[in-house]
Amino acid sequence: MSPTLHREEVWYFLSNLNTMLGGVQIPPVFRVKQRFLNTVVQNVGNTLRLQLEQHAPPIHEGDRIAITCGSRGLDRYPDIVRTVVNYIIQRGGQPFLLPAMGSHGGATSQGQRELLARLGITEQSMGVPMLSSMDTVQVGTAENGQPIYINRYAAEADGIVLLNRIKPHTSFRGAYESGLVKMMAIGLANQRGAEAAHGLRYENMANNIAAIGRAALQKLNIVCAVASIENGYGKVAELHVLHPNEVLSREPALLQRAFHLMPRIYLDEIDALVVSEIGKDISGTGMDTNIVGRFHTIAASGGPRVSKLGLLDLSLRSDGNANGMGLADFVTKKLFQKIDFAPTYMNSLTSTEPNSTKLPMVLENDRLVVQACLKLCGQLDTYRSRLVFIRNTKNLNYVYMSGAAVGAICPGADVEVDEVETDVHFDTSGNLRLFDLPS
């Protein structure tokens, strides 16, 4: 019988890995300023209000209108929702906020309320009720046989405003990815509908949500759709108000626009990529897979080719959900200790993809994660490694690159490289302090 190891003993053995990794040399790095297209909507409220007035969605006196509120941290989220609320009131309608996020928020009505509160969306901040429930009703069946489930409050409303950001999805490719159609197919469908939509796996997700979306548009009284697109700095670049009959035809072009505006790391190949933090507030998969080039499904591809990927921490606003950690090769002890496995695994079971929540190798501190990435990245001389540090996949305007990485920056990339390189700084506990340096 093998001896039982207590947790303290496990951490002791992990700390001893320093003897194997401690001698790995970490090359100095340059701070690199990456520039992206910086189109910005200067006055979100006025721009959206004017579009709503031009489209004049059919809202009548006394109509109860649901406004879909998803779980992602959209730029200017409260301003966008408040503008829609005020417009509906101006038209004589009675708006209410509707959490529309599938199984997020722990798949509970209170959890979804709390998630929206952290994003600035509450009854108090918006001045209208929030009706949150995990109850659904089946309103029909899609052409592929999939049942169409809709939040009970949405089904009972006189009208629905679909509100969401359009962006590339982290797990599949198709004409409709993260956006309005997916909001109908999954966001409005709560836990029950999200599980049904994911049941055919991501390889079929694009066709699945399109089929559900087409049928849902025929069954639901969608009065209009409001879509935002963000630039490479995470700011609102475009706002669009669509008639219900425009959603299916216009969203694919808006998705391509979002692809064009999204940020990236200006390298095609990276030997060692170190991400300071992941979290559900950053991306549904903790980090944007399109940025790091690691995917947990075969239904998506793109981004740089990354040999070794290390993760250092889990964001506070992720509430212990470590979805995405399974895409990494190494994580830190501090990240591991913040994991709440219940929401993490619920997320994975709902999406039908366990790869994103598999546990990578856990190392004592940031320094050892960086050294492990360098040791196994395929470069015998670590100073020839294309080493990259990023804060997270939402903040890519400033990154750190080794000299070898700087030399491999894509031709034509809009970057500004500091003239002087800097050592990679850690504190006495081995925590990375690179992003603490003054900008």
- Please give the full DSSP string across 96-147, using - where no structure is assigned: EEEE--TTTGGGSHHHHHHHHHHTT--HHHHTS-B-----EEEEEE-TTS-E
pLDDT at 2: 46
pLDDT at 1: 40
Domains held by the chain: number: 2
Cβ of 325: how many Cβ atoms within 10 Å?
24
Q: What is the distance, to the nearest Å, from the Cα of residue 422 to the centroid of all Cα atoms in its chain? A: 31
Q: Could you list the residue range(s) of the whole structural domain that residue 218 is in?
A: 44-261
| Sole residue written with tokens 């039908």 | 352
Q: Which residues contact 128 (CB under 8 A, 6 or more apart)?
A: 85, 89, 94, 95, 96, 97
In a domain, 238, yes or no: yes
C-alpha to C-alpha distance for 322 and 359, rounded to whole angstroms: 10
Domain identity same for 315 and 400: yes
C-alpha to C-alpha distance for 286 and 318, rounded to whole angstroms: 8
Cβ of 380: how many Cβ atoms within 10 Å?
6
Domain identity same for 240 and 285: no
pLDDT at 9: 62
Domain edge (last residue) among 261, 285, 316: 261
In a domain, 421, yes or no: yes
Helix (H, G, I), strand (E, B) or coil at 310: strand
Query: What amino acid is encoded at 426 in this protein?
Result: F
In a domain, 1, yes or no: no
pTM (whole model) above 0.75: yes
Domain identity same for 403 and 319: yes
C-alpha to C-alpha distance for 274 and 310, rounded to whole angstroms: 5
Domain identity same for 381 and 396: yes
| Sole residue written with tokens 């169409």 | 148
Domain edge (last residue) among 209, 229, 261: 261
- What tokens does 103 get? 């199984």
Domain identity same for 251 and 275: no
Domain identity same for 355 and 377: yes
Domain identity same for 273 and 418: yes
| Sole residue written with tokens 């506990």 | 429
Alpha carbon separation from 391 to 220, 276, 279, 385 (Å, rounded)? 41, 5, 12, 19
C-alpha to C-alpha distance for 408 and 285, rounded to whole angstroms: 28
Domain identity same for 125 and 207: yes
Domain edge (last residue) among 261, 283, 307: 261
Domain identity same for 254 and 267: no
Helix (H, G, I), strand (E, B) or coil at 226: strand
Domain identity same for 197 and 230: yes
Nearest Cα to 197, choosing from 102, 288, 301? 102
Residue pLDDT tens, the chain, 439 long: 444 556 666 666 666 778 889 899 999 999 999 999 999 999 999 999 999 999 999 999 999 999 999 988 899 999 999 999 999 999 999 999 999 988 777 778 898 999 899 999 999 999 999 999 989 999 989 888 888 899 999 999 999 999 999 999 888 889 999 999 999 998 898 878 787 777 767 778 888 889 999 999 999 999 999 999 999 999 999 999 999 999 999 999 999 999 999 999 999 999 999 999 999 889 989 999 999 999 988 777 889 999 999 999 999 989 899 999 999 999 999 999 999 999 899 888 877 789 999 999 999 999 999 999 999 999 999 999 999 999 999 999 999 999 999 999 999 999 999 999 999 999 999 999 999 866 5
- Ordered DSSP codes for 353-418: -GGGG---EEESSHHHHHHHHHHTSS-SSGGGS-EEEESBTTB-SEEEEEHHHHTTPPTT--EEE-
Domain identity same for 208 and 275: no
pLDDT at 108: 86
